[in-house]
Structure 1
Amino acid sequence: MEIHASVKSWPEVAPRLIAVAAGRAPADLVIRGGQWVNVHSREIVPGHDIAIAEGRFAAIGPDLSYAIGPDTEVIEAHGRYMIPGLCDAHMHIESGMLIPAEFAAAVIPHGTTSMFTDPHEIANVLGLQGVRMMHDEALMQPINIFTQMPSCAPSAPGLETTGFEITPEDVAEAMGWPGIIGLGEMMNFPGVVAGDARMLAEIAATQNARKTVGGHYASPDLGRAFAAYAAGGPADDHEGTCEADAIARVRQGMRSMMRLGSAWYDVQSQITAVTEKGLDPRNFILCTDDCHSGTLVHEGHMNRVYRHAVECGAEPLVALQMCTINTATHFGLERELGSIAPGRRADLILTSNLRALPVELVVARGVAVAKDGVLLAKCPHYPWPDAARQTVHLGKRLGSADFAIAAPAGANSVTARVIGVVENQAPTKALTAELDVADGIVPADPSRDVAQIALVERHRGTGGVVNGFVSGFGYKGRMALGSTVAHDSHHMIVVGTDREMMAAAANRLGELGGGITVWKDGAEIAHVPLPIAGLMSDAPAAEVAAAASRMVAAMAECGSTLNNAYMQHSLLALVVIPELRISDLGLVDVTTFKLTDLFA
């Protein structure tokens, strides 16, 4: 397969690797006296050296002093563990609010050296052109960032309108790009189950290219529908939330991807399939899915997921396999990365504690890229054009009247359908609430934790606003929060208790060119500019994280007590995960995949 331009292929460097291993040529780098953590044999082998040449492992042995020449760099391991660089099997860079370069800069010090990314967020805003920009910047980085071609834009045809659509022809074209590793998560699982020709054409184009099809089965139904989805070709799935989900996927020949993101805590409930049921751990993989910048800066990335898996009962070597060799094998890259073995890319971590995993040195492609939490490498930026920075089109200045919900004629109260937020999980609940009518308008009722939600069209400047209700944030007083991050169509979501402030928040995002804004008592109290596609910033991660932290504090000031409430906010338009969502076309019942009325 094609590999990154900055990494020489094995055929190009094999003569040198062989010469170094045989003692006929010196290595570029030798790491001496460490404990070799071997994820192939699942063992720790003490007293070993590692020789690296041309960015790849040349040899691993008890004494490689013969590979040290006058110009060979030597690093003393001092008995520390030498483990493979960590791999994130499924994630969205855009969820970090960062461009690929700044995302890489944030995660390299945490030991992540390989990422398998699905840029379907930018695909919804900028189409194939946006995917190419993400792909190209990914290839510029000092670590391995593979791109999965987005499969579903829109994620649910007929239930939402995106800025652009991805076609089977787009997928077939992208399969020839050098950094494309497969097809991104197939979110339109009803389409696959129904045998939709368009979805099957995308899967066929991927399989014809001998690449991996990503899955996304967000349904508790493990009967005929799941059997049909598995038959449709997806090779993995990360939407499981319980042990039965993990077991079902592995039994059907899929890899179970268990995620720990900023708001998704699905490892503990599924890893018991391995720790208690004893299933083969090589078919289980760890990933993050969505991590915002605050999590990356303050808590970590795949090292955080690894530690959590160990805390949940996984043996350290098993958990390590789940975020190294298992991932590489799944994507057909076992001979390329994911382990410390001859010929593989020289990606590794030195750590003094295998359970706590302090990341003391990170080597990527044979070069030290981070030490003791400090980035040593440069992460180049792509020249993002104006077309990627001017993507918020409101069509008009919005007013409070755009956010007024008219009651049925003559009604004094209504039974409204309400989106119910579920803390730390992607699914929502379909709730109902009895709401009073005032002057023909149905207002929010903060005293009962019922806020108003609006989806504002922002791709074509239609001025359209769809209104509804949401519960679970706990907002109090007069407030509003607006965001142009609105998975997956990425229109604008505004949640609030006051219509005037909802309008102010929407207009402010138009001025910013995208991002997040929080309003309270008539004034903006926090904002996060995201000028690229309304999804990402090209500022350093620490700056974005600081702004995001102020935003999180502002949400709490407005009454929210949810863990990572913003992640919940950003998913309220995700019309492929049950039970109730909102789109530019109306309220969506995701249990039936049909539009439904606001009033029951």
Structure 2
Amino acid sequence: MIKGNLLNVFTGEIYPAEISTENGLIKCVKPVQENFKDVILPGFIDAHIHIESSMLSPSRFAEVVVPHGTTSVVSDPHEIANVMGTRGIEYMIKDAASVPLNVYLTASSCVPATPFETSGSVIDAQEVDKLLDRDDMVALGEIMNFPGVLADDEEVLAKIASAKRHRKPIDGHAPLLSGEALCKYIAAGISTDHECTTREEVIEKRKLGMKVMLRQGSSARNLEDLIIAGGDFIVSDDKHPEDLIKGHVDLMLREAIDYGLDPVEAVKMVTINPATHYNLNNGLIAPGRVADLVVVDDLEKLNVREVYIKGELIARDNKILFSVKPLELESTFKLNPKTSADFEIPSKNREETVRVIQVIEGQLITGESEAILGVDEGSIQPDLEEDILKIAVVERYGHDRVSNGFIHGFRLEDGAIATSVAHDSHNIVVVSTNTEDMACAVNRLVENNGGLVATSGGKFNSLKLPIAGLMSSESASDVSVKLKVLQGKVKEMGCKLNSPFMTLSFMALLVIPKLKISDMGLFDGEKFQFVDVIK
């Protein structure tokens, strides 16, 4: 029997009640005449997250988020799917099954995300149909290839049709899409979007019937700017371990309330709203519902006291009451050692005007600028005084391809940083002041079977992520400590970005405008076509 002040997210009322459970379900909810301090809420649901971006295996992810009141997540495993295909998805399912957290998956729709990059696998419409036939697949994962929808691409439309046949919702990904193009995208059957960066976007999409997810992740933090425009869910999308230790959905709720959102409405956005949308049998404290419950001290502080999943107490006072033993995975790297020559951009002129990726702090979108750079010994040189650095994407699935460009915003004074967490195909992305350190960073990263690397003055700092080059089997606290040391080193190298590796990981995400880079070349995300580095 669980007693406390119950928040009824269906009616918005708060009243003292006792809750009985049986076989993992809520048996009965009875109002009582007693005085309580604590408040009982439905278990929190993060309706859109990529677990891989936490750099933790699903079981390690559960270990850190469950004490914060998260009882369910809706996760699109397209990160590991882009590396390993359905074998990667099976890994996520098996590892998640070892812990109490409800991990609902969506069938990854964009593997690869675009035809303009090399991934480790392809999941076609037939494979998507098989995935959607599974009960643990609650939706079709975000349709990042919105140009494919607008162009009536047969493969994209076949995946959408499959979701409709299975009567499962279709998640969207439509940054800056507006007007007739947005109407066509929604008319295809796509019902959510988590890529809004302006209030005008939120308002337009909601007026057209789209459910908007307000995002508060480690890199993209849009909640404060957008909450006044309304929204349907609060989600994290991508969250690093050091941030998860501070809080997950509970922290997002506190922030939403601090920004002026009514506490009851905020709780609805992480309980009944996503549960209803994804047809989950939780998100509401009522008979017959799964007994996923969170006990907090009050509705504003939201300090989590106890967490129940399927009626079982599985966390109390920020400590889990279950064991964690992550599964291991084989190496996924197939490439030859690199040399400085692989990162040269040749020119026969004395100087060149080049396109430059413009980093925007706190945003996934980038800008485009240009710079006039000098040429030395037939190679275009970076301009450290103007913060024009070199960036490259190294393909890691056996084709041995390297694409080079220039970037502004990292402010490295020397050395290089590299990552194998590089949305969405997860090739290696490296930024540097020079080609020698680029080669050293990439080679060390491969030796580590993936992860994050910083090198300067011949010394290395690393965070190993041997699970598909994306995740660690270590705890969030251990990963966080190593990441903190690594980020401290990057700051010593001159970088001022809050999350340099998270920012770097999105420089290859072609479906987010404006200028990005893949292993095939520099890419204009608005025109959805390659452009030359040299103008």
TM-score bracket, shorter-length normalisation? over 0.9
Q: CA RMSD in A?
A: 1.5
Give the TM-score of the pair, scaled to structure 1. Answer: 0.87
Equivalent AA in structure 1 for residue 339 of structure 2: G
- In 2, Cα distance between the equivalents of 1:451 and 1:61? 64
- In 2, Cα distance between the equivalents of 1:553 and 1:398? 26
Corresponding residue for residue 107 of structure 2: 149
Give the TM-score of the pair, scaled to structure 2. Answer: 0.98
Equivalent AA in structure 1 for residue 436 of structure 2: E
Question: Where do 5+ consecutive residues of structure 1 fail to align?
Answer: 1-29, 65-75, 275-280
Equivalent AA in structure 2 for residue 501 of structure 1: D
Equivalent AA in structure 1 for residue 433 of structure 2: T
- In 2, Cα distance between the equivalents of 1:89 and 1:512? 32
SS in 1 for 2:181: helix
Q: Structure 2 residue aligned with 1:586, among 521, 525, 535? A: 521
Residue 541 of structure 1, CA deviation: 1.5
SS in 1 for 2:85: helix
Equivalent AA in structure 1 for residue 408 of structure 2: S
Tell me, yes or no, if structure 1 residue 260 matches structure 2 residue 216: yes
Corresponding residue for residue 440 of structure 2: 504
- In 2, Cα distance between the equivalents of 1:348 and 1:180? 23
Corresponding residue for residue 58 of structure 1: 27
Question: Where do 5+ consecutive residues of structure 2 fail to align?
Answer: none
1:511-555 CA-to-partner distances (Å, cap 9, x unmatched) read: 11111110112211x211000111111111211111111121121
Tell me, yes or no, if structure 1 residue 540 matches structure 2 residue 481: no
Tell me, yes or no, if structure 1 residue 37 matches structure 2 residue 40: no
- In 2, Cα distance between the equivalents of 1:31 and 1:39? 17
Corresponding residue for residue 389 of structure 1: 330
Q: Structure 1 residue aligned with 2:184, among 228, 232, 236? A: 228
1:408-452 CA-to-partner distances (Å, cap 9, x unmatched) read: x2x221111111111111101011111111222112212111110
SS in 2 for 1:389: coil
Aligned length: 535
Tell me, yes or no, if structure 1 residue 269 matches structure 2 residue 225: yes
Corresponding residue for residue 128 of structure 1: 86
Structure-to-structure mapping, 1:105-504, within 5 angstroms: 105-157=63-115, 159-218=116-175, 220-274=176-230, 284-297=232-245, 299-333=246-280, 336-382=281-327, 384=328, 388-394=329-335, 396-407=336-347, 409=348, 411-460=349-398, 462-476=399-413, 478-504=414-440
- In 2, Cα distance between the equivalents of 1:483 and 1:257? 28
Residue 584 of structure 1, CA deviation: 1.1
1:16-43 CA-to-partner distances (Å, cap 9, x unmatched) read: xxxxxxxxxxxxxx013x1111100012
1:67-96 CA-to-partner distances (Å, cap 9, x unmatched) read: xxxxxxxxx994211111110000000000
SS in 2 for 1:137: helix
SS in 2 for 1:87: strand
SS in 1 for 2:223: coil
- In 1, Cα distance between the equivalents of 2:292 and 2:325? 19
Structure-to-structure mapping, 1:554-573, within 5 angstroms: 554-573=489-508
* Structure 1 runs (4+) greater than 6 angstroms displaced: none
Equivalent AA in structure 2 for residue 91 of structure 1: I
Equivalent AA in structure 1 for residue 208 of structure 2: Q
Kept in 2: contact 1:452–1:496 (CA 8 A): yes
Residue 316 of structure 1, CA deviation: 0.4
Equivalent AA in structure 2 for residue 316 of structure 1: P
Kept in 1: contact 2:452–2:501 (CA 8 A): no
Kept in 1: contact 2:99–2:322 (CA 8 A): no
- In 2, Cα distance between the equivalents of 1:490 and 1:128? 16
Corresponding residue for residue 523 of structure 1: 459
Residue 380 of structure 1, CA deviation: 4.9
1:226-282 CA-to-partner distances (Å, cap 9, x unmatched) read: 1111111111000011111112222222210111001111112221123xxxxxx6x
- Larger CA Rg, structure 1 vs 2: 1
Residue 310 of structure 1, CA deviation: 0.8
Kept in 2: contact 1:389–1:513 (CA 8 A): no
Kept in 2: contact 1:139–1:179 (CA 8 A): no
Equivalent AA in structure 2 for residue 373 of structure 1: N
- In 2, Cα distance between the equivalents of 1:124 and 1:208? 25
SS in 1 for 2:282: coil
